[in-house]
């Protein structure tokens, strides 16, 4: 994973002042001090109101452009990194929780992390290999440096058993008990301007999470030029691969009929006209 891929989710203009290095630092705190039950309750009070899903496309402003020459599909805007409202992708929720926790629990050093989690983003080599969350400790493992994906540095930090905070799935627990893996760490004060667009390869080369279902599955969005509607949805049970269907498949419509949130997503995707244009 390139550093730019990680940074792109971390610097919305609306969070720029909060993500800057001007907030309190705790790099001189003692490491390995266990989190108190009171602190864990405070963290849950912050993240339990968050809702994981691609809610911003429900605004109805989505445009979809298909370039049959480059086999690419553009969905714009797909993200809203500049509008923190406790709803969004793991990128967006990680950023909001990062900002809130740094203000409300200043004794912790908060690191933004990429890696895997045990239920839906568990496959290190496959399509379900990237999730974003926070790691809390009482010292700066990077000693002021902004970023690392060095395995040895990450292993040293993992041995300190930091606290995992995952606002997408409302989890707060020690890393050693979480079954999370860490690929990279981003420190205080490093951010960038974000792109709210999403590009999908129409040869089924990339999938993106859309929302969870009422019954606890994850729904993924992808594009396939062999599909009648070009867009396809995958339904993933915990610890399993997604099974994909055409957007207009009877199974998709049947599942959505009893799921208000999913139905809203499908309605937007089905009713948005796909334009043809060059994305080169």
Mean pLDDT for 108-131 is 88
CB distance 264 to 56 below 8 Å: no
Give dist(CA 50, CA 136) in Å, integer: 18
Q: Is the pLDDT at 9 greater than 80, yes or no? A: no
Which domain does 96 fall in, by range? 3-51+86-186
Are 29 and 148 within one domain?
yes
Domain C-terminal end among 137, 155, 186: 186
Are 208 and 123 within one domain?
no
User: Does some domain include residue 60?
Assistant: no
Kindly report the average pLDDT of the chain as a whole number: 85
Are 201 and 162 within one domain?
no
- Global pTM reads 0.85
Closest to 77 measured CA to CA, from 195, 196, 208, 210: 196
Cα 53-208-278 angle, rounded to 5 deg: 120
Tell me the per-residue pLDDT of 55-76, one tens digit each, with 9 for 90 and over: 888 887 899 999 999 999 999 9
**58, two tokens:** 């429900």
Q: How many domains does the chain have?
A: 2
Predicted pLDDT of residue 82: 73
């Amino acid at each position: 994973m390139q550093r730019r891929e990680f940074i792109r989710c971390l610097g919305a203009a609306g969070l720029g002042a909060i993500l800057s290095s001007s907030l309190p630092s705790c790099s001189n705190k003692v490491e390995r001090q266990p989190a108190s039950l009171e602190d864990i309750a405070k963290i849950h009070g912050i993240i339990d109101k968050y809702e994981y899903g691609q809610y911003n496309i429900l605004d109805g402003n989505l445009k979809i452009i298909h370039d049959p020459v480059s086999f690419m599909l553009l969905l714009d805007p797909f993200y809203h990194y500049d509008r923190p409202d406790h709803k969004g992708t793991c990128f967006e929720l990680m950023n909001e929780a990062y900002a809130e926790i740094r203000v409300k629990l200043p004794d912790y050093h908060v690191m933004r992390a990429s890696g895997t989690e045990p239920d839906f983003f568990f496959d290190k080599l496959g399509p379900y290999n990237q999730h974003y969350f926070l790691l809390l400790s009482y010292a700066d493992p990077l000693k002021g440096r902004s970023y690392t994906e060095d395995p040895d540095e990450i292993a040293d930090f993992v041995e300190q058993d930091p606290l995992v905070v995952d606002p997408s799935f409302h989890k707060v627990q020690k890393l050693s008990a979480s079954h999370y893996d860490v690929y990279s760490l981003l420190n205080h004060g490093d951010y960038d301007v974000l792109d709210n667009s999403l590009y999908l390869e129409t040869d089924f080369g990339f999938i993106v999470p859309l929302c969870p279902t009422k019954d606890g599955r994850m729904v993924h969005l992808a594009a396939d030029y062999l599909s009648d509607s070009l867009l396809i949805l995958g339904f993933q049970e915990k610890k399993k691969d997604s099974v994909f269907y055409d957007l207009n498949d009877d199974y998709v419509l049947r599942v959505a009929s009893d799921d208000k949130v999913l139905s809203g997503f499908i309605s937007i995707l089905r009713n948005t006209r796909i334009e043809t244009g060059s994305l080169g």
